[in-house]
């Protein structure tokens, strides 16, 4: 059992580090983990779940606004991008936040093609992050089920 | 108000501080609420400046208000001004992603006691509490 736990812990450690190294997550995610404790053991998963719901809603708003071809209200698109930038920054979703920065610039420039490209990229990016985090949460679950503790991962 | 040796996060529950989180983004609401909880600070959450004003009109008072800037109905600048006009002397810390000097200045002039850039972290919140004399770090 111990060998299995050790193996899972190593997998978890390597996987978590790779998410930071590949730029999916940043220090703000580390800060969220610090807030998780015995009183709220699922805090990170709950906040991320709220974030992904927010992505669906905001990307939907952006898509609808961009659909009004010829009469696109770029302020409206920009407002949703601003919200998503704030949310992604708060949870440490580094790549999503980075895309929002470019997206915002395209909105300000009223660049339709640029906005549409960013919309597609941000849609892919949040879904990729969702899958990666699900894999990470699954590894945590496996460690606990095998009788082990989820290790604290030192990113630096 | 001293640092707990066993844990890096200090517990301020003994000081019985209260706080109000004012933010329209529910992710930030969750995080800021949890940050304050973690430090042992009882706190309420409202969604915009008008709700912050209304909660004070109903007689509630807080030691600390964490005020976002961009909010619908009544933004952080308007709400801060209104609360000061009402005679509310609570410490108000502006918390926003907008770091533009002009906007920051306008926010400060509305009546803030401190300012921090979002996203908030434990150390940024401790910095606010230190600046506002709610917390003294001991070595």
pLDDT in tens, A105-115: 999 999 999 99
A81: its two tokens: 């991008």
Residue B132, exposed/middle/buried by CB under 10 A (0-12, 13-18, 19+)?
A: middle
Q: Which DSSP symbol is given to B120?
A: P
- Tens of pLDDT along A7-56? 999 999 999 999 999 999 999 999 999 999 888 889 999 999 999 999 99
Read off the pLDDT band of B103 (50, 70, 90). confident
The pLDDT assigned to A23 comes to 96
**Residue A83 to chain B, least CA–CA distance (Å):** 8
- Tens of pLDDT along B12-39? 888 899 999 999 999 999 999 999 999 9
Rounded to 5 degrees, φ, ψ at B6 are: -80, -20
Check A50 against B38: CB less than 8 A apart. no
Closest Cβ–Cβ partner in A37, A40, A90 for B27: A90
A24: its two tokens: 């999916």
- With a threshold of 0.85, tell me whether the complex ipTM lies above it: yes
Whether residue B57 is predicted with pLDDT greater than 50 in this model: the reply is yes
The pLDDT assigned to B13 comes to 87
Chain A positions touching B25 (Cβ under 8 A) are: 83, 86-87, 90
The pLDDT assigned to B2 comes to 39
Residue A130, exposed/middle/buried by CB under 10 A (0-12, 13-18, 19+)?
A: middle
Choose from A41, A86, A91 for mutation: most chain B CBs within 10 A. A86
> What is the β-pairing status of strands B18-22 and B114-117?
unpaired
The pLDDT assigned to B14 comes to 86
CB of B112 less than 8 A from some CB of A = no
A27: its two tokens: 């220090």
- In whole angstroms, what is the distance from residue B134 CA to residue A29 CA? 27
Interface size, chain A vs chain B, as Cβ–Cβ contacts under 8 Å: 47
Give SS3 for B96. strand
Cis peptide leading into residue B119 (ω within 30°): yes
The pLDDT assigned to B136 comes to 81
Task: Choose between B115 and B6: higher pLDDT.
Answer: B115
Q: What is the mean pLDDT of residues B67-89?
A: 95
Read off the pLDDT band of A80 (50, 70, 90). very high
Give the global pTM. Answer: 0.90
């Amino acid at each position: 059992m111990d060998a299995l736990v050790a193996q899972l812990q190593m997998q978890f450690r390597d996987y978590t580090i790779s998410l930071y190294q590949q730029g999916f997550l940043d220090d703000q995610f580390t800060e969220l983990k610090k807030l998780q404790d015995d009183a709220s053991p699922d805090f990170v998963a709950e906040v991320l779940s709220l974030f992904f719901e927010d992505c669906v809603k905001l990307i939907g708003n952006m898509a609808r606004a961009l659909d009004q071809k010829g009469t696109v209200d770029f302020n409206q698109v920009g407002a949703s991008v601003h919200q998503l930038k704030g949310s992604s920054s708060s949870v440490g979703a580094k790549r999503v936040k980075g895309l929002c920065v470019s997206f915002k610039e395209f909105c300000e420039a009223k660049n339709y093609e640029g906005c549409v490209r960013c919309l597609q990229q941000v849609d892919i990016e949040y879904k990729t992050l969702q899958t990666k985090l699900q894999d990470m949460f699954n590894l945590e679950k496996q460690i606990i089920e095998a009788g082990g503790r989820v290790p604290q991962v030192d990113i630096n | 108000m001293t640092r707990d040796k066993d844990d890096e996060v200090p517990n301020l529950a003994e000081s019985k501080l209260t706080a109000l989180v004012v933010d329209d983004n529910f992710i930030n609401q969750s995080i800021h609420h949890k940050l304050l909880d973690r430090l042992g600070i009882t706190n309420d959450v409202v969604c915009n400046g008008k709700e912050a004003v209304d909660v004070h009109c109903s007689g509630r008072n807080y030691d600390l208000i964490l005020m976002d800037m961009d909010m619908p109905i009544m933004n952080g600048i308007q709400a801060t001004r209104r609360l000061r006009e009402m005679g509310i002397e609570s410490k108000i810390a502006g918390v926003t992603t907008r770091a533009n000097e002009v906007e920051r200045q306008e926010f400060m002039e509305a009546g803030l006691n401190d300012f921090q850039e979002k996203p908030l972290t434990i150390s940024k919140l401790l910095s606010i509490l230190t600046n506002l004399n709610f917390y003294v770090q001991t070595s």
